[in-house]
Amino acid sequence: MNDNDIVMTKFLAILFAICSGLAIGNLYWAQPLLVQIMDGFGLPAANGGLLVTATQIGYAMGILFILPLGDFVRRKRMIALVMVLSVLALVSCAISPSFIILSLSLFSMGIVTISGQIILPLAGDLSREDERGHIVGIVSSGITTGILFSRFASGIIAGFWGWRSVYVIAAALNLVMVLVMIYVLPEIPAKNKFKSYGKLLASVFTTFKNHSSLPNILLHSGLIFGLIFNIFWTSLTFLLSAEPFNYCLVSMVCGFAFSDSIVAIVIVAAVLSVAVQGVSVLTQTRLFNLSQGERSRLNTVFVVNNFIFGAVGSALASLLWSLGGWSYVMIAASAVSVAALIVWLFSRSKFKYADESLDN
């Protein structure tokens, strides 16, 4: 059996979206619960940021050191393995007796909760060329929804049964999903012959040499998803706690003009989220069209790139807020939007998907 023998149905795409959303959501369960968790351990609330840091560092390591294997191993087994390990890590979070154990559990969970990023290039592999953008969009939207849902649901669940119950429920949901994926997902042969792990990691970086348009794709994505998205959402926390590229650029300008209206801010946030999601889908579709045999490695580069830009964006948001508050944040985000638009206009003539080889 090869990838072309498997029919990528809408049902399978939705299943992929749900599975990916649950996986990425595992990274964000803790964010609304930091104060409650710290109170439970009798520690200052400020220490809660270390839990987020531990999770994100673990996730970055999993993306860099595990995700590239998706181009060389049987992905059904790989997905099942990392999902089972995620369940175990979530259980460990739920029963952690101390802050240190919880930090290590979240770090471990970050490393293995990467099934969504394995599934996304798999969806690209199984899709017909004329449907790839649509399928990638469905799966990608599941990832975005998972981020929003986990942040929303964790606060409600913790309000009823405490923060540990969030991880118990998350473990149960992930266990159900891994059983469904094992039952539904067919066995898919490896795409490439595995030689050595060292050569595998090195090949992640040679993608830049193989595809001249890759740097422009990554820069555009980093500016939109990494900088603008993180600048906005990090600063929004500051705004709500204080007193009263086309679409991306418009939303930033509106955010600047209506900074004292909570209704306007909600609308801006919704427009920005839709815009960033659209850019992300188009970017990943373009990325997966570069090479059929390197999609997991290309996705590795993509996610790590956004992770780095995101870290810069979060730090920049704090600096801008301290210098001039919401106005400085929106001015800077608008400037980045213009820069992203210029990058796209300057480089789109170089994006010749049909001329890119689909063979590695």
Structural domains in the chain, sorted by start? 1-194 (1.20.1250.20), 195-349 (no CATH)
Provide the pLDDT confidence category of residue 245 given band limits of 50, 70 and 90. very low
Q: What is the pTM of this model?
A: 0.74
Q: Specify whether the CB–CB gap between 220 and 347 falls below 8 A.
A: yes
Task: Assess whether pLDDT exceeds 70 at residue 244.
Answer: no
Q: Give residues with Cβ within 8 angstroms of 29, minimum separation 6.
A: 150, 154, 166, 167, 170
Average pLDDT of the residues in 320-330: 79
The 3-class SS string of 152-214 reads: HHHHHHHHHHCHHHHHHHHHHHHHHHHHHHHHHCCCCCCCCCCCCHHHHHHHHHHHHHHCCCH
- Whose CA is closest to 333, among 260, 255, 244? 255
pLDDT tens digits, residue range 14-53?
A: 999 999 999 999 988 887 788 788 888 988 876 777 887 7
Provide the pLDDT for residue 333: 81
Give the three-class secondary structure for 91.
helix
Q: Give residues with Cβ within 8 angstroms of 87, minimum separation 6.
A: 171, 174, 175, 178
Give Rg (Cα) of the chain. 20
- Which of the given ranges, 178-187, 210-219, 266-275, has the highest pLDDT on average? 178-187
d(CA 127, CA 76): 16
Provide the pLDDT for residue 355: 42
d(CA 67, CA 64): 6
Provide the pLDDT confidence category of residue 359 given band limits of 50, 70 and 90. very low
Residue type, 314: S
29 token code pair? 């369960």
